[in-house]
Amino acid sequence: MLPGSYRAAGLVDDTALVRAMLDVEVAWARVLGTPVSLGSWVPALDPVEIEAAGNPVLPLVSALRAQVSGPVHTGLTSQDVLDTALMLLARGVLTQVSADLERVGSALARLADEHRASVMAGRTLTQFAVPITFGLKAARWLVGVLDALDELDDVSLPVQCGGAAGTLSKVAGDPIAAASAFAGHLGLVWPGLPWHTYRAPVTRLGDALVRACSALGVLAADVLTLGRPEIGEVREGAVAGRGGSSTMPHKRNPVLSVLVNSAALQAPQLGAQLHLCSARAVDERPDGAWHAEWPALRSLLELAVVAASQAAELVEGLEVHADVMARRAADAAGELLAEQGGGTDPAGYLGAAESFVDVVLKRWEGR
């Protein structure tokens, strides 16, 4: 079980997927001219039937046909339904992740502004370098969040509509008009042709989610380092019942940072799985590569939702100990002010730091 999975409740779980597939079938039925009124009905799919079919679509279609008089699913194939349903799930995920990244961004912008003059030790290759400000560090985190938001905004979510071999051969009338109407019913994009074996819509989505997790991972890893007891420059906010140890009662573990860092370490491999499946999407519909894609994509969708929510809570409650930062910078002045030609005044090492903060804050305000 993914720690924090409740934060993604109803977005990518089995029930959500079945509902999304049902929405796809209903939208297509309307394209076919079949009136559909299902109320709150959602079928419970038999796992044995799903295994027998190789995917969950056939059991869903069988259940739907027992409920509806008139043609349903005619002209579609299982991959059309499942791919499109996953795009519907992705839409909800992108909305949630973007909203939480906005929360992260707002909190980071506040920290960057408040601490634009809070001097701290800069570190390179784990060692003291020259003085920086915590405001600059927060601004750097914010740049990653801004880039992630931009990439998520650019993700396109297309319908899949091709029939058995990507030709829409069983669609009566104008098949392109039918596909466009299908996309319109669902609020998705008709990309101009089916993408059964062209998996860029999935890999692009995955890449954007991975990059979002990576941006949050940098933030979390920095917080973990700066929050070590022997450093103590930041600390996660205290929440009753969080961060305890099963054996050491004195501990208050930085759980949110640990979990966001964990997500950043898991996400790239899930993204790589999507690319591997894309490279093996052979023939007119793949023989296993497609089947290996859905669990990786659903895991990545859930991971991104949970990590973004945890990161928002982490940054909003982050305790910044500027006094500790200043004291450490003063104690390490001999090393921090040793850059050749740098002088002995910490302010002389800050250069354009405050200007950089302003540039990032201006970009944030312009969103």
* Residues assigned a catalytic role: 245, 285
**For residue 366, with 0-12 CB atoms within 10 Å meaning exposed, 13-18 middle and 19 or more buried, which class applies?**
exposed
Residue recorded with tokens 């039918």: 178
Which token pair is 57? Answer: 């679509």
Question: What contacts 106, CB < 8 A, 6 or more positions away?
Answer: none
Sort strands 119-124 and 127-133 into parallel, antiparallel or unpaired: antiparallel
Residue 130 DSSP one-character state: E
Cα 316–Cα 321–Cα 325 angle in degrees, nearest 5: 130
CB 307 within 8 A of CB 313: no
User: How crowded is residue 185: how many other Cβ atoms within 10 Å of its Cβ?
Assistant: 17
The angle that helices 78-114 and 200-226 make with each other, rounded to 10 degrees, is 30
The residues with which 235 forms a beta bridge, in sequence order, are 319
Residue 236 DSSP one-character state: P
Which token pair is 182? Answer: 């299908």
Angstrom distance (rounded) from CA 43 to CA 46: 9
Helix, strand or coil for residue 264? helix
Residue recorded with tokens 């003063």: 330
Cα 202–Cα 208–Cα 211 angle in degrees, nearest 5: 135
CB 38 within 8 A of CB 67: yes
Angstrom distance (rounded) from CA 204 to CA 147: 15
